[in-house]
Amino acid sequence: LPTDFQQALPILEMIETAGFEAYFVGGSVRDHILGLPIHDVDIATSAYPEEIKSIFKHTVDTGIKHGTVTVLMNDNSYEITTFRTESGYQDYRRPDKVTFVRSLEDDLKRRDFTINALAVDRNGNVVDKFDGLTDLDNQIIRAVGVPEERFHEDALRMMRAVRFQSQLDFTIEPETAAAIEDNAPLLEKIAVERIREEFIKMMIGRAWKIGFKEFLNLNLSEYCPEFAGQASKLNNLLSTEDFQMVDDEMAWTAIGFVLEHSEEKLSKFLRDWKVSNKSREACVSTMRILKLIQSNSLEIWDYYKDGLDNVSRAEKLAELFDIKFDREKLDKLIDAIPINSSHDLKISGNDVIKTLNIKPGPEIGFFMNKLEKAVVTQTVTNSYEDLQRYLLK
């Protein structure tokens, strides 16, 4: 067993000593068998939440109603979820009813794909009720049971399919793919936040082009925010050279670029996708820089003001979209920036007050900003005397 599982072994042992079953399940099992790094170790058990709470000293009620208790042990935290079945998915989203059961097989049956329906016991034995190991071997994403029914239960699984395709570079089994295409409109029933999470994981996955292509081919894009009728523009993203998205913001900006969005439109687009304000600002800034690079009018101040992250993301995108720009000039610009922030100025707010003989207040910020710009654009050198002289001019 890998160290992540080794560390969690005492948990399985304690549950078993109390007379219940416990297994490692879900993504950690899949990733371990594939030899990929494991994020979080999830545990499934026949014990009910109250029983888990009586076994462990430090627990958190993460999702008691759904059977999940978090156990804290040796600086790690583990989600322990009671075996359960789900029923009555009337709204294509969430089950009306969660029923705790004592059988592992029933629990595995409710899981989305065969490769995610594997369990490992404390001796390392794999429980494989749906031929998930064969599918892992053949690199196939296949719904557990009847695909049509599974996507009716929870339409988000269709997005999860293309997400795993991108992360793992797998193929979606034909019947599963056909059911996605038939049921793509059900995606409209799903909360934007949940779609976004899978969508962005797909975009930053290592085989994102394969996932994104399938996302378009299976018509999922038509039922996502802001993507209806945009498939041909979105398709342009596939004609770029192969590359890896470095972060969410790079992916969103790339999409905004092929959709030919202005900064304002991009901002609205990201609002509709419910992207966080911080991330949205970074995307808009990246787009602004990208356009300045494209029109060859990027000035040192733009560069400095928008921050290195946004500029380097924009630079990568410029390369990808085959935008001609003078890299040497850009590099020279970067090297020439004399300070990293206003803190590096050789003059302080207090000095400004004294030099100009003014009262403390918002004016100081205005002058500091003016000095910062002057230093960055090399209108004045960053020395106390020169800055003072510049202020008095």
Question: Judged by CB, which is closer to Mg ion: 27, or 67?
Answer: 27
Instruction: Tell whether residue 116 is a contact of ligand ATP (CB under 6 A).
Output: yes
Binding mask 360-379 for ligand ATP (x = CB under 6 A): --------------------
CA distances from 234 to 201, 257, 259, 325, 355 (A): 17, 9, 7, 24, 56
Look at residue 143 and give the partner it binds from ligand ATP, Mg ion, none, a contact being a CB closer than 5 to 8 Å depending on partner kind: none
Compute the Cα dihedral for 242, 247, 251, 254 and give only its sign.
negative
Instruction: Using only the alpha carbons of the chain, give its radius of gyration.
Output: 27
User: Which secondary structure element, helix H or strand E, spans residue 204, and what is its range?
Assistant: none
Structure tokens at 377: 């654009």
Q: Angle 60-62-66 (CA atoms, 0-180°, nearest 5)?
A: 135
Binds 111: which of ligand ATP, Mg ion, none (CB < 5-8 Å by kind): ligand ATP
27 is a contact residue toward ligand ATP (CB under 6 A): yes
Among residues 27, 49, 67, 95, which is the contact residue for Mg ion, using CB under 5 A?
Answer: 27
Length of the chain: 393
DSSP 8-state assignment for residue 113: B
Number of residues counted as binding ligand ATP (CB under 6 A): 11
Q: What is the DSSP letter of 342?
A: G
Select from ligand ATP, Mg ion, none the partner in contact with residue 156, using the beta carbon and a kind-dependent cut-off of 5 to 8 Å.
ligand ATP
Query: What does DSSP say about strands 140-141 and 171-172: parallel, antiparallel, or unpaired?
Result: parallel
Is 156 one of the binding residues for ligand ATP (CB under 6 A)?
yes
Nearest approach, Cβ of 39 to Mg ion (angstroms)? 6
Q: Measuring CA to CA, which residue among 393, 369, 367, 371 is closest to residue 383?
A: 371
Q: Is 111 labeled as ligand-binding?
A: yes
Ligand-binding site membership of 30 (annotated): yes
- Rounded to the nearest whole angstrom, what is the least distance from the CB of residue 214 to ligand ATP in the complex? 18
Task: Answer yes or no: are the C-beta atoms of 150 and 143 closer than 8 Å.
Answer: yes
Q: Which of 45, 46, 59, 112 binds ligand ATP (CB under 6 A)?
A: 112
128 near ligand ATP, judged by CB under 6 A: no
* Amino acid at position 307, single letter: G
Among 12, 26, 49, 275, binds ligand ATP (CB under 6 A): 26
Nearest residue (beta carbon) to ligand ATP: 27
295 Cβ neighbours under 8 A, 6+ residues apart = none
271 assigned ligand-binding residue: no
Is 157 a binding residue for ligand ATP by CB under 6 A? The answer is: yes
Where do contacts with Mg ion occur on this chain (CB under 5 A)?
Answer: 27
Binding region for ligand ATP (CB under 6 A): 26-27, 39, 42, 111-112, 116-117, 154, 156-157
